[in-house]
A and B are shown apart, each in its own frame.
Chain A
Amino acid sequence: MIDLLLDITLLTFLLVTAIAIMRIHSLFAIVMLFGIFSLLSAGLFVVLDAADVAFTEAAVGAGISTVLMLGTLALTRQHEEKHSGKHRPLLPLLVVFVTGAALIYGTLDIPAFGDPNAPAQKHVAPHYLDKAVDETGVPNIVTAVLASYRGFDTLGEVTVIFTAGIGVFLLLAERRARRRTKETRHET
């Protein structure tokens, strides 16, 4: 009963925050609401028994992403979204309705929320839950699967993070070189 109440409350707050991000024009308010959205979703992950995921979402979403968006606001010095008076969003609304209807039609076949006999709980998951402590000696099943059973995927993930670092470095690290060439051009 408490679970159900917490679920519905957190989902309602998430919906309200998402609609507010859609409608508000001040960019600073949008970034703050974005941090609140990440924190609320981390709380919802805890209610859904996903402790590792909640930890990562709170640290990464409410921490790093919000800080980087504030940094972008400071660098681009924008404050407000432009008010365009003649806003006719008919085509986007149509696309959104059609996609939403198709998705809801697809969820009618999913087994009920929390069903222990759903097909998702059948094939590999019981093997991991039974054998992980004997084969790897690690009680945290998520770490055991991430580091040992599916270690190759984690190698790809670390490479993606490294590539993002290289990408940002290539995009944003040029200024010193440009300043030096500008100075030499002024001197000549």
Chain B
Amino acid sequence: MMEFLLGHYNYWIVVILMMAGFYTVISRGNLIKKIAGLNIFQVSVFLLYISIGNVQEGTTPIIAEGFQTYSNPLPHVLILTAIVVGVATTALGLALIVRINEAYGTVEEEDIHLQDNSL
């Protein structure tokens, strides 16, 4: 039981982080807060992948003298690409928020819906 707990606590805390980000995205009305919640969600997914690739007693996957076991380099490569794509999405989302604010005068979702329905 203790072995099982020690082997899995990492994944459970990461899932709780994921759900915190997810909740921020779907329940709050402010657009800037939604983008922040989306980023929390993305970072927790990266943590999940990197913990899957970790090896006990291993080290960073850079070949050097005196080290035998290395951590798995494949998740690192995938997550590197994912981080960069994430920042591209965030930049585009923030540019859209700036334009929405110029068109409607607000960044709250409810006010935007009210203005759209009253046209």
Contacts and interface: CB of A to CB of B under 8 A. Distances in A.
Interface of A: 4, 7-8, 11, 14-15, 18-19, 21-22, 27, 30-31, 34, 37-38, 41, 44-45, 48-53, 56-57, 60-61, 64-65, 68-69, 71-73, 75-76, 78, 81-82, 84, 89, 92-93, 95-96, 99-100, 103-104, 107-108, 110-116, 118, 120-121, 124-125, 128-129, 132-133, 139-142, 145-146, 150, 153-154, 157, 160-161, 163-164, 167-168, 171-172
In order of increasing CB-CB distance, the 5 nearest A-B pairs are A112-B7, A164-B88, A114-B56, A92-B27, A107-B11
A72 B98 CA distance: 6
A78 B63 contact: no
Given A34-B39, A129-B70, A171-B99, A141 B63 contact: yes
Contacts of A82: 29-30, 108, 110-111
Contacts of A41: 43, 46-47
9 contacts: A15-B13, A49-B59, A82-B110, A93-B23, A103-B19, A107-B12, A111-B7, A120-B72, A157-B84
Contacts of B92: 164, 167-168, 171
Contacts of A30: 32-33, 36
A72 B26 CA distance: 21
A38 to B, nearest CB: 7
B8 interface: yes
A164 B69 contact: no
Chain B interface residue number, banded: 35 or more
A52 B72 CA distance: 13
A129 B76 CA distance: 13
Of the listed residues A49, A68, A125, A164, the one surrounded by the most CB atoms of chain B closer than 10 A to its CB is: A49
A75 B29 contact: no
Contact of B83 (A56, A69, A116, A150): A56
A22 B24 contact: yes
A57 B43 contact: yes
Nearest to A114: B56
Contacts of B37: 21-22
Interface in B65-119: 69-77, 79-81, 83-85, 87-92, 94-99, 101, 107-108, 110-111
Interface in B3-20: 3-4, 6-20
Given A84-B110, A104-B12, A139-B62, A27 B32 contact: yes
Given A30-B32, A92-B23, 16 more contacts: A18-B17, A18-B40, A22-B24, A34-B36, A38-B39, A41-B47, A48-B50, A53-B50, A53-B83, A56-B83, A61-B43, A75-B98, A82-B111, A124-B74, A141-B61, A142-B61
